[in-house]
Structure 1
Amino acid sequence: MNSNNYIDFHCHPSLKPFGKSFRKTPVGQNSADRRRNSSIWRYDPPSVFDKALNYLSGLTKFSQSNFTALTLGGVDTVCVSLYPLEKWFIRNKMKNELILDLASNFALGIGAKRIDHIQEMQDYFADLLLQYDFYRQLDGKVFRVGGNRVRYKLVRSYDEILELREQADSSRIRTIAVIISIEGLHVLNTGLRKEPVEAEVLQNIRAIKNWEYRPFFITVAHHFWNDLCGHAPSLTGVITKYADQGEGLDTGFTPLGWKVLERMLDNDKGRRILPDIKHMSVRARQEYYEFLERPEWKGKNIPLIISHGACNGLRSASDPVQAHPLTAAPLNPVTINFYDEEIIRLARSGGIIGLQLDERRIASKDTLKHTKKSLYRHKIMHYRSGLLWNQVRHIITVLDAEGLFAWDCMALGSDFDGIIDSLNGFWTAEELPFLADFLERHAFNYMKEAVFKVPENRIGADEIVQRIFSTNGHEFLSKNFI
């Protein structure tokens, strides 16, 4: 079984199986039996009903990034996101407890026992430790997929990834390198709508930095107020009627938030953790950029990372107009997405943006409404992959206009299993090779007539796709995951 050497900077393989593990005691057991719902290797491709439900409602009941699907999709390195679900998804405005439980379980697909646990959550950090242990339980265990021997291995540095690749030639075991990341600093036990205990919060970030498999990056904000950093509006559809994001929305960093941020970036003993700026409010992002310009941080070579994001097509928060109307028009002009000014800043920092595959994020409602429909799978794939290409096309336009090489800052950050409405036709990680193929078609057609200010931006369509799905990610990791 050949690997495509793909890298996914953001997905949630454990979200559903970890949730299902709460059916038995002790909880948090990652089953070595691939047939079990609580196994991170359980293969769960979508049925026709699953696809229809996703198409009509945006709900994803099937597993998108289990390790069998990642293997079949050619992913060889993955940044897995530890994410204790915020209780305010489940403890919300819906009054009837039975309906609340049923609705939450149906929408999230994590099991009724897990729903009960989250509703009563008083310690996000303890839940984080359970999720971390969930990955460690099957670390290195060999399974068979398609007649081939496969496993995943947690890694601490890019050098360890290279060692795994060298070992694969002799061992004949296909290995997926797993990099730990975290989504949301509420994991430090904040955001519980009570005053956080500073000593506890700082002790928790110190403990995380001392893990054997230290997170490479942590998403600072997420869906709800975490007492540390303001968040951007992120929820859409019917859930907005029940889950209130209002507290802390669009605010900046708190004094405690600054203390946590500085401890993350402290590179004592080479144990820096990069802040992932996805989900941060516009104000918080601007405060962070200004922070990096301070004399004590300016020379630290801290790259910006957006593990799973999209462009909004607007010039900047202070001047929210379309500087490049042709490429900006199809995009979703919301503040959780990133302004042209931020993409330029990211590229200049040596940073990376993992392009997410959530239709609701990467395209405007009008674009989705007018995207062509078809009953033929290959046509669906062509039309829906075009939504992702629109993001790529805008980034190249913005960076080329700025006189920058544009093809070294884009990667893949699917957000599979992260409660997303994925591109129709590309349901799981198993379909990533198809996405690469269709994206290459769009790139080839674009390059036939494209005119560039920077001559180096004229590269082959195959290289464009290789960079987005693999090369850029490997180069970013080689420089920063050390």
Structure 2
Amino acid sequence: MALYFDFHFHPLGKRFLEKFNDVERQSKQCTEPVALPRIGGGVDPLLGHIFRSQACVSQSVKGGIKLGVANIVVMEHVFATRQGVLNLLELEVGGKKVIVPLDNRYIDFVHNSQGSYNQLMSKELAFYQWVAGQVDLRHSINLLSRKNENGPQLQESKLNLVLAIEGGHGLSKRLISQFAGEFDPVKTVQEYRNNKSVDFLYLTLTHLSHVREQPLCSHAYGFKLVKGLPEAMPQINGLTLLGKQVVRACVDTKENKHPILIDIKHMSLVGRHDFYTYRRHLLDKRPDGFKPPKEVDGKPWWPIIATHMGITGFASGEMRDFIKKHGIERGNETSVRVKLSRKKAATLPEGIGLDKVSFNPTSVGLFDDDIEEIVRSRGLIGISLDARILGFEGVKGRLLQPEYDYFSREDFAILFPDMAQKLSIVEPVEEGTEGALEKEAAPATTESLIASRGKRELYLFCLNVLHTVAVINRMPDKERHGKDGWDYVCVGSDYDGLIDSIQAANTAELLPRFEQELQSFLPLAEKAYFKAHDDVPDLLPKAGGKAEVKRVLRKLFYDNGERFIQDWWSPIKAGAKAIPDKEIV
């Protein structure tokens, strides 16, 4: 079986949420898929299949994932608000869960400020460590660490994982949504870096909400399960001073040789720009004895990574051309809402109507200049398998539903100073009009005339990758370090991160079949991309006049990820072949 790499997923995430008590969570079923109650199984497709297991440990092993980055993510207060669709998370009948097996004690802990986010992070970290120590599981995990005496070693019969943190709020030791308690995320970072029992590859600095007790960076709007939650909207200006201190604490190697990278996913556009500027300042000025993380070719090396992304299709400086309307939403005066049009990705080579597909224009995705910044840093880009992030729209969405984005008022004024002078009041978006997790529901007579949802998603995945490669291959050879665009992309699925995964790869088990399908779709998508875009450089490499599709797909699905981990993080040794774990009855 071919090998696979995942830059960002949550193989124990849903099992962790199933039981709040640590001992109750420790069972032989912890690496198996979570079983949804009967009603939940019926409701889940209507919500985009976000509750079912997509990449638990056993699914990941069966799908051939040899190496991946497992993210610890702590439930934010916005998920515990008990509003709208979130009520389904706690629904019980006769004392039994009927939608999703999520322990209500977890929601109570967050909603009622019973402790800190860091306490929850510590619980999930301990769960990963417990699972890694078990020898009687059908499929188990191997946690890789630079701090082990013999360095990180792969084990053939296990899911080899590098740990990461999604959301800087996991560093907060203050009471959730309160201002009481220890307030020193820099100290928390230093504690993790000095702790020999844990090792993190990266920190995603922010996530899906404004965390008022520890503001590190404005976030890119992405929480669409419930409308009108102010904390889900960006509220502060870019990268804060505290955020800069956390960034430095992660990467300065003056006193510790195990840096933690910064993942730019979920950072606002202004936050990303601030981060690029601050990174250059640290590398160029070396304030207070700052020591760069590594060197390559005699120069400091600090790669920028973006781990589970979609592509907007244009440069950030062009965004104003895609803004159709902007204003202050009534009841949410801390941010600016913009109504966006989309950049056409291509016209599909099948179907006779509604055959155009577009990129997702919102700022949670990468702009062309983000891609260039990552490449100059010798970084890596993970392409998400979330259909919405890739730009998928149902028939209703393509015909009727606009795309909305939100910026903090300060960020908006920096990006669009003239537009910020005239901010009218706009009415809130009505529930259900945004299509956050819209299920494709085209009438049969219409569906027969257009490409199916599954095919459109396959094309969109290809087009997101191809556009990334096109942007890179337009760069001067020196800026891309003599490499091809295909050397900078990998898969960052975001499996089990409450995503509507694309049908061709809706679970990790389907990754081999997904790669096989792409062998025929990628050349077709390339032709469609050429027709829709001007001045496109070479994309698929050719040998003997034939596109080397299999070779670039191997780079995308495994080679680039492993190479990046080997080059940046630590040389990984192939350990002795482990004895396969016995089957559990």
TM-score (norm 2): 0.69
Farther-moved stretch of structure 1 (113-122 vs 388-397): 113-122
- 5 Å matches for 1:171-320? 174-189=157-172, 192-195=176-179, 200-211=184-195, 212-226=197-211, 227-236=215-224, 238-242=225-229, 244-246=231-233, 248=235, 251-267=237-253, 268-294=255-281, 295-296=284-285, 300-317=300-317, 320=320
**Could you tell me how far 1:44 is from its partner in structure 2?**
4.4
The aligned residue for residue 392 of structure 1 is 465
* Maintained 8 Å contact 1:93/1:242: no
Going from structure 1 to structure 2, the CA distance change for 1:47 and 1:461 (only over 3 Å counts) comes to: farther
Report the AA paired with residue 19 of structure 2. Answer: S
One of 538, 550, 554 as aligned partner of 1:466: 554
The aligned residue for residue 103 of structure 2 is 111
The aligned residue for residue 90 of structure 1 is 80
Gaps of 5+ in 1: 169-173
Report the AA paired with residue 417 of structure 1. Answer: D
Aligned equivalents of 2:143 and 2:198: distance in 1? 7
Aligned equivalents of 1:317 and 1:92: distance in 2? 38
Going from structure 1 to structure 2, the CA distance change for 1:53 and 1:423 (only over 3 Å counts) comes to: farther
Report the AA paired with residue 472 of structure 2. Answer: L
The aligned residue for residue 28 of structure 2 is 33
**Could you tell me how far 1:331 is from its partner in structure 2?**
0.3
Farther-moved stretch of structure 1 (293-302 vs 275-284): 293-302
Going from structure 1 to structure 2, the CA distance change for 1:156 and 1:440 (only over 3 Å counts) comes to: same
The aligned residue for residue 429 of structure 2 is none
Going from structure 1 to structure 2, the CA distance change for 1:452 and 1:334 (only over 3 Å counts) comes to: closer
**Could you tell me how far 1:45 is from its partner in structure 2?**
7.6
* Maintained 8 Å contact 2:78/2:229: no
The aligned residue for residue 153 of structure 1 is 142
One of 53, 56, 69 as aligned partner of 2:59: 69
Deviations 1:206-264 (A, max 9, x none): 1121232211101001111231111111122x512457423525x21222221111101
Report the AA paired with residue 468 of structure 1. Answer: L
**Could you tell me how far 1:419 is from its partner in structure 2?**
1.1
The aligned residue for residue 563 of structure 2 is 475
Secondary structure of the structure 1 residue equivalent to 2:5 = strand
**Could you tell me how far 1:412 is from its partner in structure 2?**
0.8
Per residue, is there more strand in 1 or in 2? 2
Deviations 1:113-170 (A, max 9, x none): 322223234311111111111011121534575xxxx4311001499787425xx4xx
Aligned equivalents of 2:540 and 2:461: distance in 1? 23
Aligned equivalents of 2:243 and 2:181: distance in 1? 12
Farther-moved stretch of structure 1 (448-457 vs 387-396): 448-457
Report the AA paired with residue 27 of structure 1. Answer: D
TM-score (norm 1): 0.83
The aligned residue for residue 171 of structure 1 is none
Gaps of 5+ in 2: 287-291, 293-298, 323-341, 347-355, 399-439, 571-585
Report the AA paired with residue 283 of structure 1. Answer: V
Aligned equivalents of 2:121 and 2:566: distance in 1? 27
Going from structure 1 to structure 2, the CA distance change for 1:66 and 1:349 (only over 3 Å counts) comes to: same
Going from structure 1 to structure 2, the CA distance change for 1:234 and 1:455 (only over 3 Å counts) comes to: closer
- 5 Å matches for 1:409-428? 409-428=488-507
Larger radius of gyration: 2
**Could you tell me how far 1:350 is from its partner in structure 2?**
1.1
- 5 Å matches for 1:436-451? 436-446=515-525
**Could you tell me how far 1:185 is from its partner in structure 2?**
0.6
Farther-moved stretch of structure 1 (353-362 vs 202-211): 202-211
Secondary structure of the structure 1 residue equivalent to 2:109 = helix
Amino-acid identity (%): 22
Aligned equivalents of 1:456 and 1:362: distance in 2? 20
- 5 Å matches for 1:323-362? 326=345, 330-362=358-390
Going from structure 1 to structure 2, the CA distance change for 1:29 and 1:157 (only over 3 Å counts) comes to: farther
Report the AA paired with residue 224 of structure 1. Answer: S
The total of aligned residue pairs comes to: 455
**Could you tell me how far 1:49 is from its partner in structure 2?**
7.8
The aligned residue for residue 511 of structure 2 is 432
